[in-house]
Structure 1
């Protein structure tokens, strides 16, 4: 055989082998692709079949969880509402208690005030009654005293017995006669002071004296008082030219007596009264 034919034969064999190998490779590749496609399809089917079950389980779990959360939330809200209700009730109770205490305090204060007002009113009424009683007593005593003085000074003696009364002012003022030779009727047992009261009353002259009976002391006649002309000035009296050494409330007069009241500025020296 020629060299060319051998090369052509080898080339033909190689071509045949190449075609055969290519067909085999193609068939193998198609089979592998078909198998892979089938597996992928199975996986997809399996995945599709399994997915709803998985989703269902998750959904149930989520639903249970959501239900638990909702239930817990409701319980929490209920507990919160109950707590708020208790707090409100406690606050209301405290407010009522405070209001009650304030009302009780106000009532107590009002009662105390009323009691104080009642006590003050009662005390004022008692004081008013006492003052009225005291005033009435004083007025009665004053009226009695005035009546007695009026009776003593204005009573007209039942006899014709009389005495003469003179009242002399200070020598430094010309020994002025304030009462000049008054003839005054007397009753038995009357004293010098009784006569002076009656005589000054008839002239509407002021007469100031203190004490009674043996302690009577004349302080002023016709507004001229002791010590008005110095520390040694005052009133002294004389009966029938003599200066008695005892009170004018103890000297009993008799008809015909001459009674002189004199204002001295030197304890009687200026009137020649005995010193003793």
Structure 2
């Protein structure tokens, strides 16, 4: 074998060895890169697995951020506060309604008590007992001293008085059954003066006591209708034979004064 041929064989072997070594190195580097990629992929997968949440439907739910979680908590707290406020309002509304019902019952009971008090009957509660107001009233009535009986008022004493004008002029009644109050010790002349003065009619007389003599009444005097004319009086239908100044009156007497034009004959007066 020639030297040239040997050199060619050796060169070929070296080339073959170089190619084989290069291929090996390339394959080895690709294997390491693949392993690193797998490792990175595995870590990424684990990280994603930690950050993902799977729901009941099998779907992955994104993980909520801290801010979203805080907002959710705040909203939940506000909802709880709102619910609590609504419950409080309901309780207050029920309480107010209950108070209104109680007030209505109290007003109805008060009206019933007043109605029964006005009708004279004593009100009774649910147990059939008298109300406290009635009991208090009864206690006050028991403790209150009885009012003293009013002092009897004196009964006024009166007489009836009439005055007749001249018969020739129609025998008119100038005073018609006047009721005149009398006092103890009054005489017929006192009754006549008191009644005529209250009616504004004139009276003319003279004397005192047993000497009293009536001269004129209402402007008509003795002798105005002749020499036999003048004034007469009678008590309870009887013509007294003495002066009106000393004739006492009593309760219920009927006194008549009459003008005569014939010494009493026209008045049926006794003569003597």
Q: TM-score, normalised by structure 1?
A: 0.43
By percentage of residues, which structure has more helix?
1
Q: TM-score, normalised by structure 2?
A: 0.43
Q: Computing the radius of gyration over CA atoms, which structure comes out larger, 1 or 2?
A: 1
